[in-house]
Structure 1
Amino acid sequence: MRRRSFVFVACSPHPRTGVSTTARLLTDFHLSRHAPVEGFDTDPHASRYADLFPAQVRIIDATEIKGQISLFDRLLVNDETPKIIDVWSRSYDRFFATVREIGFVEEARRNDVEPVLLFHADPTEAGLARAFALRAAFSDVPMIVVHNEGASPLGVGAQEILAHYPASRKFVIAPLDAAIARALETPALSLSGFLVAPPPDMSIVVRAALKAWLAPIFTQFRSFELRQQLNGAEFLK
């Protein structure tokens, strides 16, 4: 039996919530296991995600018909390759309007393609309201709330805020010390490659800190993956 292809939609209606970081981490998670992965960067002006993965990520203008065709037709292909979409905050409304207009979710299910919403939390009431609106619009699509503690800190009430989001699961991305975070901004740094062979000129302190930061993130991704595999296993039905 063919496995489902997952489409991960990393999104937020607000900037600076860590959407591109999540797309990057998910991509490196798959590459670290030598698994195929395909990404789409919907910011045609500052395509940070695409710059990091020129061989795996395409730049798509989701506000134009040509870009929408290129994106959604590819997402509907069940080739068992996970697809990751970095939804630019300025493309957020148009992207999800298109998803509704073309009946993407229904067509995806017919093709054994499973969309997953990765909604990024922020401390605003507006962000929470938009999460509920998205949940209402796509009630049968799995939603995971992502809290990037460095990009969008929620303060001492973080757990209470996250508990209000309409999602059954959450991913937490811990903050990094500023000196360590700067290492991530190096365009040539591949996190999947780093896990196999860290750059020889990288400080041993930075190496240790990056590995300690990545480990729980990748564990969360793997836990989700295993859960989905179990949910889809024939012998459990």
Structure 2
Amino acid sequence: MLATPIYIICSPSPQVGKTLIARLVSEFLLLKNGTALSFDVNLKEPSLLDYLPNITETADVIDTYGKMQLIDPLIVHDRVAKVIDLGFHAFDEFFTMCEEIGFMEETMRCYVVPIILFVAGADRSSWRSYEMLRRRIPPGALVVVHNEFVLRGGLPEAMDGERVLHIPALPVFLKAYIDRLSFSFTGYLHDEKDWSSELHQWIRRSYTMLRDLELSAIMRRLS
């Protein structure tokens, strides 16, 4: 691995499918690399820790100690991809901290590639927070996630650019199925022999998008 990717899945809005995206990314990394390390910065359950306890640690940004415990492993080029499931309650504090300590600049020196997956919401705070990140995050590192199960009417115009990850909406019964704590995306791919099933194709398409996204981010960083 030429650089270590860090996926920061975030949104200032609740109930937008952020933890679902964090689960997808974490399981994709486990399948691709055989290892991953995830951080759960959430208040409510179920959270990423409930779904993937073997690779997930809890973290917080309440005080200086908690911030350093979270940040220190992220700026190490150890070839273990990281995932942060950043709760909406910690959104402002986390990115304020990143700006204060020069986190993005530090990653450039350490061969670490941050990929900010901003899960869009329909409320005004989502648009304002996106504009804030556009001013703070280097071009190419900020990617909008359009979860079509939540935003069925499409993205706000300001967010609908080149760097968009579209997650198609699943039928309600399949959404309830994948929300079970015992469900594994990779496990389903291994166990389900019908490749034409809607869920099988949805997972494979999601994994392919993540593979292409990571390759693009790393090549941009190294160019």
Q: For the Cα contact (< 8 Å) 1:11–1:86, is it kept in 2?
A: yes
Q: What is the 5 A alignment of 1:1-237?
A: 3-46=2-45, 48-140=47-139, 142-150=141-149, 152-155=150-153, 158=154, 161=156, 163-165=157-159, 168-198=162-192, 208-231=197-220
Q: Aligned partners of 1:76, 1:211: CA distance in 2, in Å?
A: 35
What amino acid does structure 2 have at the position aligned with 1:52? Y
Say how many residue pairs are matched: 223
Give 3-state SS (helix, strand or coil) of 1:33's partner.
helix
Tell me the TM-score normalized by structure 2. Answer: 0.90
Task: Among all aligned residue pairs of Structure 1 and Structure 2, give the percentage whose two residues are the same amino acid.
Answer: 26
Measure how far apart 1:55 and its partner are. 1.0
Structure 2 segments unaligned to the other structure (5+ residues): none
| Residues 107, 25 of structure 1: alpha-carbon distance in 2 compared, 3 angstrom cutoff | same
Give 3-state SS (helix, strand or coil) of 1:14's partner.
coil
Measure how far apart 1:120 and its partner are. 1.2
| Residues 132, 20 of structure 1: alpha-carbon distance in 2 compared, 3 angstrom cutoff | same
What amino acid does structure 1 have at the position aligned with 2:176? R
RMSD, aligned α-carbons: 2.3
The CA deviation string for residues 48-101 of structure 1, in whole angstroms up to 9 with x for no partner, is 111111111111122232221111001011111111111100010111111111
| Residues 141, 213 of structure 1: alpha-carbon distance in 2 compared, 3 angstrom cutoff | closer
Q: Aligned partners of 1:232, 1:135: CA distance in 2, in Å?
A: 18
What amino acid does structure 2 have at the position aligned with 1:226? L
Give 3-state SS (helix, strand or coil) of 1:164's partner.
helix
| Residues 44, 65 of structure 1: alpha-carbon distance in 2 compared, 3 angstrom cutoff | farther
Q: For the Cα contact (< 8 Å) 1:5–1:113, is it kept in 2?
A: yes
Give 3-state SS (helix, strand or coil) of 1:86's partner.
strand
Which has the bigger relative contact order, CA under 8 A and spacing at least 6? Answer: 2
| Residues 82, 169 of structure 1: alpha-carbon distance in 2 compared, 3 angstrom cutoff | same
| Larger Rg over CA atoms | 1
The CA deviation string for residues 200-230 of structure 1, in whole angstroms up to 9 with x for no partner, is 9xxx79x923202212211211111232344
Q: For the Cα contact (< 8 Å) 1:41–1:57, is it kept in 2?
A: yes
What amino acid does structure 1 have at the position aligned with 2:208? T
Give 3-state SS (helix, strand or coil) of 2:210's partner.
helix
